[in-house]
Amino acid sequence: MAGIVDRIADFIATYYLDPIRNHTGYNIVNTVTYALVLVVCVYYLLRLLERLNFTIDRTFIRAFLPFMVFGGTSRALVDAKVYPDTALLITPGIYVTIAAISFAALLASKALERKRGVPYDRTLVATGCVAAGINILLVLSSIVRPGAAAYIFGCFALFYVPVVLLSRRYPSSFLGGNAYIIGAHLFDASTTFTGIQFYGYVEQHVLTGTFIDLAGPWIMFPLKLVFITVSLYLLEWIIPESDTESLNIKNILKLVIVVLGLGPGIRNMSTILMGA
């Protein structure tokens, strides 16, 4: 019995605890586990939001954008040793921390709306901007590679401008209301490419790391474009706008997709700029 317990403890330490303690990133085991946990959390979060009578639409999604900046910069400030290196501020703990802070702010904003009539999204955006603004000031005060921003935004513009033009040319297509989601992941790809190509960083995710090892960091752009556009196309096909009963499901999935692109992208850019 003791041998089984020891093996389980070794398994947990090897695949879950050691990557957190040693900042070695992801492996196939913890990647699959975190993905399954995310699915369960999204399901119960959706049920809770519907019980609280929230409509998950673009206004709802955009109200959380400052918190994504707050999360990404907080993680980078840990890398730069400005914030303490604790489990709550590194992956996966930081997702729980930022989600808890964001949800608390959402509930407070909704309570203020009911009491004072102030739209919840305005309060939520203002709260997120204050939190993100503090972090942004800390990042700006620690920049040692200002030139990296030119690489990042240059790459981003090169791939994102055509997406925007196509979305305007074909507004009724699935691109019409989803260009910003693709943009979040192209921004992440731009920061990953810049960090690896010019500054010696390495990719910590298992799947994308494999592709980068095979083809180089430029592969992030077609990977992101193909994966996100296909995902959004399928999402729009499975749950069309006319299916009003399922719109909350579709939109919370869009929120998750944005978080998984913009959060790491902000973290990457901030880390590169600070030379952390």
Q: Can you tell me the distance from the alpha carbon of 49 to that of 52, in angstroms, rounded to the nearest whole number? A: 5
pTM: 0.92
Q: Does 134 share its domain with 164?
A: no
Q: Does 120 share its domain with 190?
A: no
Q: Which of 110, 142, 174 is the last residue of a domain?
A: 142
Digits of tens for pLDDT over the chain (276 positions)? 556 777 888 888 888 888 888 877 788 888 889 889 988 999 999 999 988 888 888 899 999 999 999 999 999 999 999 999 998 898 888 999 999 999 999 999 999 999 999 999 999 999 999 999 999 999 999 999 999 999 999 999 999 999 999 998 888 777 878 999 999 999 999 999 999 999 999 988 888 889 999 999 999 999 999 999 999 989 888 888 777 778 899 999 999 999 999 999 999 999 999 998
Report residue 212 CA to chain centroid gap: 20
Q: Which of 115, 142, 169 is the last residue of a domain?
A: 142
Q: Does 273 share its domain with 166?
A: yes
Pull the structure tokens for residue 46: 């959706």
Q: Does 151 share its domain with 28?
A: no
Q: Which of 142, 162, 187 is the last residue of a domain?
A: 142
- Dihedral sign for Cα atoms in the order 24, 270, 93, 221: negative
Please choose, from the candidates 184, 191, 177, 196, the residue with its C-alpha nearest in 3D space to the C-alpha of residue 160: 184
Q: In this predicted structure, what is the pLDDT of residue 22?
A: 80
Q: In this predicted structure, what is the pLDDT of residue 139?
A: 97
Q: Can you tell me the distance from the alpha carbon of 1 to that of 168, in angstroms, rounded to the nearest whole number? A: 64
Vertex 265: Cα angle to 264 and 271 (nearest 5):
85
Domain hosting 209: range is 146-276
Q: Does 154 share its domain with 257?
A: yes
Q: In this predicted structure, what is the pLDDT of residue 1?
A: 56
Q: Does 177 share its domain with 108?
A: no
Tokens 């503090």 belong to residue: 134
Please choose, from the candidates 227, 232, 219, 221, the residue with its C-alpha nearest in 3D space to the C-alpha of residue 167: 232
Question: Which residue intervals of the chain are DSSP H helices?
Answer: 2-12, 18-22, 28-51, 58-63, 65-79, 93-116, 120-140, 148-169, 179-199, 206-215, 220-238, 247-274
Please choose, from the candidates 143, 138, 111, the residue with its C-alpha nearest in 3D space to the C-alpha of residue 127: 111
* 70-120-52-36 Cα dihedral, nearest 10 degrees: -20
Three-state DSSP state, 201: coil
For the chain, what is the domain count?
3
Question: Residues near 203 by Cβ (< 8 Å), separated by ≥ 6?
Answer: 192, 196, 209, 212, 217
